[in-house]
Structure 1
Amino acid sequence: MSAQVLVSRPPAPQTVPVESLPAHQVEVAYNTGPHSSSGLATAGFRTAKYLPEEWQQGNYTSYYQAFSDRDCSEKVRHEAKQLAAETEARAQRGQADATKKLGERLQDVNFWKCELGREIGDLAAETQLLLQQKGRLERALDATDIPYSIATDNLQCRERRVGGELVRDEVEVELLKEVELIRNVQGLLKRTLEQTVQQIRANRDAKETLEMDWSDKVEAYDIDDKCGRYNNQSTDIQFHPNSSKYEDNTSTPESWAQYSHDNIYKGERERMASINLRSLIDNILQDTAEDLRSQCCTVDSAFAKRCEEVEDAKQKLENHLTKTLEEIGGQENNIAALKQAIKDKETPMKVAQTRLYQRSYRPNVELCRDPVQFRLISEVGELTESIEFLKRKLEDSEQSLRNLEDTRMSLEKEITNKANSLFIDREKCMTHRTRYPVVLKLSGYQ
């Protein structure tokens, strides 16, 4: 690109001073001397005629003017040639320097473009990993529904125990702890899931900002690369007079680099927060799964222990029931024997009383209180006392039999209650608890 240089014509040289001319030319210049044309005869002709010296002087003036114009022209040509060469060299240097600057700019743009692309890739990979953790959280949260339904079903089943079996035992305490633990775990998983969703949104926002910056860098790189390929032989170049100005919304190299640096820093910050959150999710899922399984084992142990206690109590009750039934049989035989003994005393009583009755008919002095009379009266008294003793013992035996019957009924009822409790705990609850999820499922891997 050459610049047009306008060179103004130098002013005409001034007339040589008269004092510097030869003497005869001075006379001609002042119209003096022997050949002067002063006088009345020359009046009216002086303005149209020149003296030879004047003619000569005019020629000298023309010569000098021509020499001066040539010299000035040569100087102008030399200066113009030198200026054209200088401007050509300056234009080439400017174009080469601009091309070099474009190359340096392309390196800067490519550097930040690569940094942005690397951070976009890292952030996208981290977001994908966080999405996997989000899936684990959702699966783990869904998996807690089964333990919760099992625990609540166990509590509801154990409400159907009857009588003295409806007790707040260790199993119920541990089941209530399990229900509370599952609720706390579900609350923690829900809060962590919300935090994960927010972090994924933040990662995507940062990635979108980085992608927009990267896209701008790609477009700017293509434009600068295209500009760097322009040269004086390019066919698609033209004048753009209004392009040589600074736009109002332009940035400085420092603010330009700082903008990309801030975007990358924001992306790295969100990526590190995502990494920390993933580690936190791993710890939470592992801890909650272990806590749930530990509590499940505690409840199962309490169930097993309680079933052993109930089974032992049931066996003891059955043993007592067997002995009670045996005792009932013995007492019934005893009552029958007592009744028979009382009945057996009726005949001796009849004999003794008949003897006394018949001897009361002895005549006169024969009605004597002899030893026989005393013995018969004593025998009747002994028989009467024996019958009273037997009757009282019969009443006691019958009362004992009634007590044994009541005890039998109570034992049978307690045995039935124990059997019902065993059925609820062993067949219902413990069988249902076999469906309790394993640690992998509670950790969200399945």
Structure 2
Amino acid sequence: MSSDIIVSPPYYDSIAAAHGDQEKSPPLEQDIPQVSSGSVTAGYRSAKYSPAEWFSNYQTILEQAGTNHHKAQNIKQKSRTLSQDTEAAALKTQAEGTRLLGERLQEIHYWKSELQRHIEHLQADTESLLMLKKRLERSLDSTETPYAIATDNLTCRARRLGAELVRDIVEEELVKEVDLIRSIQALLEKTAAQIVAQIKRNREAQQTLEMDWSDKCQAYSFDDASGRHSNMSPDTQQHPSSATMQEQVSTPSSWTQFTQDNLSKAMQEEQATNNLRMLVEQMLQDITDDLRVQCTRVDRAFSLRCEDLIEAKTQLEMKLVQTLEQIGSQERNIEALQQAIHNKEAPLRVAQSRLYLRSLRPNMELCRDQPQLSLEAEVKQIDATLESLKHKLSEARSSLSHLEESRMALQKDINCKTHSLFIEREKCMTYRKRYPTISALSGY
């Protein structure tokens, strides 16, 4: 039997051990038996328990073991229940997160599809505006031809001669055509600038949508990859800092509002593009109609002017023929008058000779007899006839001079009208056949 001092076993709290608390030993009980008195039994009786103490000690151990066993069973049961509950909660939370990720993917896909649709619309609108801009440029280029035609017509008509240089209906219509073409050119240039500005706004809106679409594609990829993660995924790892709230993050409402604002801006630009496209189409149709109507008016004025010139030229030519005939007749009349005057010279000489000879009669023979009176009357008659013939000859010569002046005026006017007719028909109207077609004026 050992003589060592027997002490109670260390105190172990199983509940504290289950919670990870550090083991603590209670203070030693101060129930060590007192050393027996007496020197004879000192080696056998010192530091020993009594039977009652021995029994109490192992009963205490048994009770403590039972208590610890009960506590261990309770903790194990609660641990199993807690494990099952946390496992179910974790699976439920994970399933809820997966469901929410799926819903989020559907939402992102919807907005991504809307963004893609409006991006395609903006791209198509921009392409249509670029084609419309080319049409405007071609239409603007095509207006140079009618402008050159109208200005050339005015320049050619400025070379008309004399009284033909008149501000007639043709010139008024040509001036209207030049003013119309200038206003149309200014309108086309202004509209082309509007189209360029609209193209710029469309591209800015498209760029904004493309950036939003790209961000949503990345977000969709991340959320899709997140939704595919499971407890068996080998590529998962711990990221403790990812659960902390990040600064400057959007809320679902601000996230939706941001995309809606971008789409609203895009739809505004789409509507503006559609309105501008309709406006330009109508404008091209209107300017084409206006130019063709004005061209028709100018052509009609040219035709009427040519008809007037032809009619006037015909009348002048007819009058010239009559004048030439009259000149010939007058020339013959002058010749006849001259001949008549010449024919009166002989009778006048005869009568004057007779009077002269009879004036030589002597003395009483110088009598104013009937022959003398007849001869004097004859001389007076011949003188009066000659005076009348000479007067008529002067009138005939004056008339011939006037007829010659009329002939020259008629010929000059005919030449002027022939020159004007050449300008109107050969220069102007022939050149106007190069007027652009309706399709060319419309920019096709």
TM-score by length of 2: 0.89
CA contact (8 A) 1:171 1:303 kept: yes
> In the alignment, which residue of structure 2 is the partner of 1:354?
353
CA contact (8 A) 1:7 1:76 kept: no
CA contact (8 A) 1:303 1:430 kept: yes
Provide the C-alpha distance between the structure 2 equivalents of 1:13 and 1:352, rounded to a whole number of angstroms. 199
> In the alignment, which residue of structure 1 is the partner of 2:236?
237
1:47 offset after TM fit, Å?
9.2
1:375 offset after TM fit, Å?
1.9
CA contact (8 A) 2:313 2:418 kept: yes
> In the alignment, which residue of structure 2 is the partner of 1:296?
295
Provide the C-alpha distance between the structure 2 equivalents of 1:47 and 1:349, rounded to a whole number of angstroms. 219
Q: CA distance change for structure 1 residues 324 and 71 in 2, over 3 Å: closer, same or farther?
A: same
Q: CA distance change for structure 1 residues 435 and 139 in 2, over 3 Å: closer, same or farther?
A: same
CA contact (8 A) 1:127 1:203 kept: yes
1:67 offset after TM fit, Å?
2.4
Q: Does 1:331 align with 2:347?
A: no
Q: What's the secondary structure of 1:394's corresponding residue?
A: helix
Provide the C-alpha distance between the structure 2 equivalents of 1:8 and 1:139, rounded to a whole number of angstroms. 88
> In the alignment, which residue of structure 2 is the partner of 1:168?
167
> In the alignment, which residue of structure 1 is the partner of 2:215?
216
360-369 or 306-315: which moved more? 360-369
Gaps of 5+ in 2: 1-16
279-288 or 47-56: which moved more? 47-56
Provide the C-alpha distance between the structure 2 equivalents of 1:349 and 1:361, rounded to a whole number of angstroms. 19
Give CA deviations for 1:13-50 in whole Å, capped at 9, x if unaligned: 999xxxxxxxxxxxxx9x9xxxxx999769x9999454
Alignment of 1:417-436 (within 5 A): 417-436=416-435
Q: What's the secondary structure of 1:361's corresponding residue?
A: coil
Provide the C-alpha distance between the structure 1 equivalents of 2:23 and 2:58, rounded to a whole number of angstroms. 19
Alignment of 1:11-22 (within 5 A): none
CA contact (8 A) 2:35 2:47 kept: no
Provide the C-alpha distance between the structure 1 equivalents of 2:172 and 2:428, rounded to a whole number of angstroms. 15
> In the alignment, which residue of structure 1 is the partner of 2:395?
396
> In the alignment, which residue of structure 2 is the partner of 1:195?
194
Provide the C-alpha distance between the structure 2 equivalents of 1:419 and 1:171, rounded to a whole number of angstroms. 17
> In the alignment, which residue of structure 2 is the partner of 1:269?
268
> In the alignment, which residue of structure 2 is the partner of 1:313?
312
Provide the C-alpha distance between the structure 1 equivalents of 2:23 and 2:354, rounded to a whole number of angstroms. 199
> In the alignment, which residue of structure 1 is the partner of 2:85?
86
173-182 or 375-384: which moved more? 375-384
Q: Does 1:7 align with 2:19?
A: yes
CA contact (8 A) 2:36 2:46 kept: no
Provide the C-alpha distance between the structure 2 equivalents of 1:317 and 1:38, rounded to a whole number of angstroms. 175
Give CA deviations for 1:84-105 in whole Å, capped at 9, x if unaligned: 2222122211211111111111
Provide the C-alpha distance between the structure 2 equivalents of 1:137 and 1:160, rounded to a whole number of angstroms. 35
1:158 offset after TM fit, Å?
0.4
397-406 or 235-244: which moved more? 235-244
> In the alignment, which residue of structure 2 is the partner of 1:116?
115
Provide the C-alpha distance between the structure 2 equivalents of 1:256 and 1:366, rounded to a whole number of angstroms. 157
Provide the C-alpha distance between the structure 2 equivalents of 1:364 and 1:125, rounded to a whole number of angstroms. 137
Q: What's the secondary structure of 2:52's corresponding residue?
A: helix
Q: CA distance change for structure 1 residues 361 and 139 in 2, over 3 Å: closer, same or farther?
A: same
Provide the C-alpha distance between the structure 1 equivalents of 2:288 and 2:159, rounded to a whole number of angstroms. 30
Q: Does 1:382 align with 2:414?
A: no
Give CA deviations for 1:294-351 in whole Å, capped at 9, x if unaligned: 0000000000000000100001000111111111111111111111111111111111
Gaps of 5+ in 1: 16-28, 32-36
1:378 offset after TM fit, Å?
1.8
Provide the C-alpha distance between the structure 2 equivalents of 1:350 and 1:377, rounded to a whole number of angstroms. 12
Using the aligned pairs only, state the percent identity. 50
Structure 2: which amino acid aligns with 1:313? A
Provide the C-alpha distance between the structure 1 equivalents of 2:253 and 2:64, rounded to a whole number of angstroms. 61
> In the alignment, which residue of structure 2 is the partner of 1:107?
106
Q: What's the secondary structure of 2:231's corresponding residue?
A: coil
Q: CA distance change for structure 1 residues 47 and 296 in 2, over 3 Å: closer, same or farther?
A: farther
> In the alignment, which residue of structure 1 is the partner of 2:321?
322
> In the alignment, which residue of structure 2 is the partner of 1:159?
158
1:387 offset after TM fit, Å?
1.2
1:72 offset after TM fit, Å?
2.1
1:8 offset after TM fit, Å?
4.7
Provide the C-alpha distance between the structure 2 equivalents of 1:197 and 1:401, rounded to a whole number of angstroms. 76
Q: CA distance change for structure 1 residues 49 and 39 in 2, over 3 Å: closer, same or farther?
A: closer
Q: CA distance change for structure 1 residues 281 and 47 in 2, over 3 Å: closer, same or farther?
A: farther
Q: CA distance change for structure 1 residues 233 and 392 in 2, over 3 Å: closer, same or farther?
A: same
The alignment of Structure 1 onto Structure 2 pairs a total of residues equal to 422
Provide the C-alpha distance between the structure 1 equivalents of 2:148 and 2:332, rounded to a whole number of angstroms. 56
> In the alignment, which residue of structure 1 is the partner of 2:5?
none
Alignment of 1:400-419 (within 5 A): 400-419=399-418
CA contact (8 A) 1:144 1:182 kept: yes
Q: What's the secondary structure of 2:305's corresponding residue?
A: helix
Structure 2: which amino acid aligns with 1:142? D
> In the alignment, which residue of structure 2 is the partner of 1:443?
442
CA contact (8 A) 1:123 1:203 kept: yes
Backbone CA RMSD of aligned residues: 2.5
Structure 2: which amino acid aligns with 1:298? R
1:248 offset after TM fit, Å?
1.2
1:406 offset after TM fit, Å?
0.9
> In the alignment, which residue of structure 1 is the partner of 2:11?
none
Give CA deviations for 1:238-289 in whole Å, capped at 9, x if unaligned: 1222211222132111111111111122111111111111111111111110
CA contact (8 A) 2:35 2:46 kept: no
TM-score by length of 1: 0.89
Q: CA distance change for structure 1 residues 47 and 92 in 2, over 3 Å: closer, same or farther?
A: farther
CA contact (8 A) 1:359 1:367 kept: yes
Provide the C-alpha distance between the structure 2 equivalents of 1:47 and 1:102, rounded to a whole number of angstroms. 78
Structure 2: which amino acid aligns with 1:323? Q
Provide the C-alpha distance between the structure 2 equivalents of 1:198 and 1:268, rounded to a whole number of angstroms. 16
Structure 1: which amino acid aligns with 2:295? C
CA contact (8 A) 1:12 1:65 kept: no
